């Protein structure tokens, strides 16, 4: 079997810790190499295919039997769907979610509309192009984020706002920088969790709690770019994750049920990681869904999907093998 590993590779001189989030969604060469090594246990060759403007011709001429897809795409509102669309046009089967699902899950408003339509709790929200769009129905504090970004791009210490005056400045800055509307949602103050799902009829991996108690004074007490990529980095040495989370059986069951219903409602395939908080009724409320979760191999980097897999007793190679096997089985193929 000849496999394409479709991806976007971080530039060699780029550092997320610098605060520049331009390429935050891309994968480090070490991650690409770790996935490639794992795949070579089960196939004859793995070719890294950069998800750029040359990707279509590379895929068309490559004679590939399968693609292991972690590509973020390069631009546009549905960029995570670009490579899957090419692969489908070329008839190359691939891992992970399909074109429609990836387009929807990158769009935070559309994701929340699907969740709400399926009776899955999600914080009340509104899409804003300017401060004056804000409905009187939404209650402060509000949490603001660009509508179509991943890896916490655009989500900063400024994202939590308590007044229209604060909101005006942040919305204006986000719209100007990211050239897209801003999602405003009511901020939930309950415990925060992130949940990984693996396979079809998915297994819920051990739940990760995101905790901010150990951060220094003045650090944000919510997940944002600074917390994820600066405080919780190898150099800074903070760890904002607890896995397995300390939850009782009842809460675990409710979180797992919410995660599985979300997976099904959005027609996700093979793998997923979703973020939720407990709402005022202490019920899990989903606020973000990542159908292309990060796969950083180094446990010290606290990549949350692999961290949950490690807590389940899996090695990194086993995790990649299970994603690969799930995708092959789904398409009637096999090792």
Question: How distant, in Å, are the alpha carbons of 188, 190, 202, 262, 298 from that of 205?
Answer: 24, 21, 9, 15, 18
Q: Quick one: pLDDT at residue 222?
A: 81
Q: Quick one: pLDDT at residue 335?
A: 64
Quick one: DSSP state of residue 125? E
pLDDT tens digit sequence for 154-181: 888 899 999 999 999 999 999 999 999 9
Q: Tokens for 96, please give them.
A: 């992970």
If you average pLDDT over residues 322-327, what whole number do you get? 98
Query: What residue spans define the domains of the chain?
Result: 2-95, 124-186, 192-330
CA distance 229 to 44: 35
Asked if the model's pLDDT at residue 236 lies above 70, the reply is no
If you average pLDDT over residues 85-101, what whole number do you get? 98
Q: Quick one: pLDDT at residue 115?
A: 98
Asked if the model's pLDDT at residue 233 lies above 70, the reply is no
Read off the pTM: 0.93
Quick one: DSSP state of residue 129? S
- Domain boundaries 2-95, CATH class: alpha beta
Asked if the model's pLDDT at residue 235 lies above 80, the reply is no
Asked if the model's pLDDT at residue 38 lies above 80, the reply is yes
Tracing tokens 């039997």 back to the chain, one arrives at 65
Q: Quick one: pLDDT at residue 226?
A: 78
Q: Quick one: pLDDT at residue 21?
A: 79
For the chain, give the mean pLDDT.
93
Instruction: Compute the radius of gyration of the chain from its Cα atoms.
Output: 19
pLDDT tens digit sequence for 9-33: 998 877 766 667 778 889 999 999 9
Query: 71 CB contacts (<8 Å, ≥6 apart)?
Result: 6, 7, 8, 51, 55, 80, 82, 83, 292
Mapped onto helix, strand or coil, the DSSP state of residue 152 is coil
Quick one: DSSP state of residue 18? G
Contact assessment for residue 286 and residue 121, using Cβ atoms and an 8 Å cutoff? yes
Asked if the model's pLDDT at residue 57 lies above 90, the reply is yes
In the structure, what pLDDT confidence band is assigned to residue 302 with cuts at 50, 70 and 90? Answer: confident
Asked if the model's pLDDT at residue 188 lies above 70, the reply is yes
Query: Which residue did the predictor score with more confidence, 327 or 153?
Result: 327
Quick one: DSSP state of residue 191? -
In the structure, what pLDDT confidence band is assigned to residue 322 with cuts at 50, 70 and 90? Answer: very high
Query: 197 CB contacts (<8 Å, ≥6 apart)?
Result: 203, 204, 205, 259, 260, 263, 268, 271, 272, 273, 274
For the chain, where are the alpha helices, taking DSSP H only?
A: 29-39, 55-61, 82-90, 99-106, 108-117, 164-178, 225, 249-265, 304-311, 316-330
CA 290, 140, 275 angle in degrees (round to 5)?
Answer: 15
CA distance 81 to 84: 5
CATH, domain range 192-330: 3.30.470.20
Tracing tokens 């068309």 back to the chain, one arrives at 60
Peptide linkage before 244 cis (omega within 30 of 0): yes
Asked if the model's pLDDT at residue 56 lies above 80, the reply is yes
Q: Quick one: pLDDT at residue 267?
A: 98
Q: Quick one: pLDDT at residue 43?
A: 94
Cα dihedral: 117, 123, 125, 131 (round 10): 180
pLDDT tens digit sequence for 116-146: 999 999 999 999 998 888 988 899 999 999 9
Per CATH, domain 124-186 is 1.20.140.10:
no
Residue 276: beta bridge partners?
A: 193, 286
pLDDT tens digit sequence for 242-275: 999 999 999 999 999 999 999 999 999 999 999 9
Contact assessment for residue 161 and residue 140, using Cβ atoms and an 8 Å cutoff? yes
Asked if the model's pLDDT at residue 211 lies above 80, the reply is yes
């Amino acid at each position: 079997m000849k496999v394409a590993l479709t991806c976007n590779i971080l530039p060699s001189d780029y550092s997320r810790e610098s605060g520049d989030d331009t390429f935050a969604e891309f994968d480090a060469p070490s991650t690409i190499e770790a996935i490639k090594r794992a795949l070579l246990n089960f196939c004859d060759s793995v070719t890294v295919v950069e998800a750029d403007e040359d990707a279509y011709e590379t895929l068309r001429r490559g004679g590939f039997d399968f693609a292991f897809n972690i590509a973020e795409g390069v631009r546009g509102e549905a960029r995570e769907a670009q490579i899957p669309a090419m692969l489908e046009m070329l008839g190359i089967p691939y891992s992970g979610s399909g074109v429609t699902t990836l387009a929807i899950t990158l769009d935070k408003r559309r994701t929340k509309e699907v969740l709400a339509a399926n009776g899955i709790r999600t914080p009340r929200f509104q899409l804003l192009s300017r401060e004056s769009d804000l409905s009187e129905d939404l209650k402060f504090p509000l949490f603001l984020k660009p509508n179509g970004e991943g890896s916490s791009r655009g989500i900063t210490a400024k994202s939590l706002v308590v007044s229209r005056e604060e909101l005006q400045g942040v919305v204006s800055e986000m719209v100007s920088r990211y050239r897209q509307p801003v999602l405003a949602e009511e901020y939930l103050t309950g415990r925060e969790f992130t949940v990984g799902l693996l396979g079809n009829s998915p297994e819920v991996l051990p739940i990760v709690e995101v905790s901010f108690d150990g951060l220094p004074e003045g650090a944000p007490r919510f997940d944002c770019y600074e917390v994820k990529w600066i405080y919780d980095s190898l150099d800074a040495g903070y760890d904002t994750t607890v896995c397995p989370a300390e939850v009782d059986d009842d809460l675990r069951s409710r979180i797992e049920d919410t995660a599985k219903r979300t997976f099904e409602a959005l027609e996700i395939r093979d793998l997923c990681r979703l973020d939720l908080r407990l709402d005022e009724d202490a019920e899990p409320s989903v606020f973000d869904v990542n159908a292309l979760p990060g796969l950083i191999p180094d446990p010290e980097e606290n990549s949350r999907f692999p961290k949950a897999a490690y807590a389940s007793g899996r090695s990194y190679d086993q995790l990649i093998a299970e994603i690969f096997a799930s995708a092959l089985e789904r398409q009637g193929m096999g090792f």
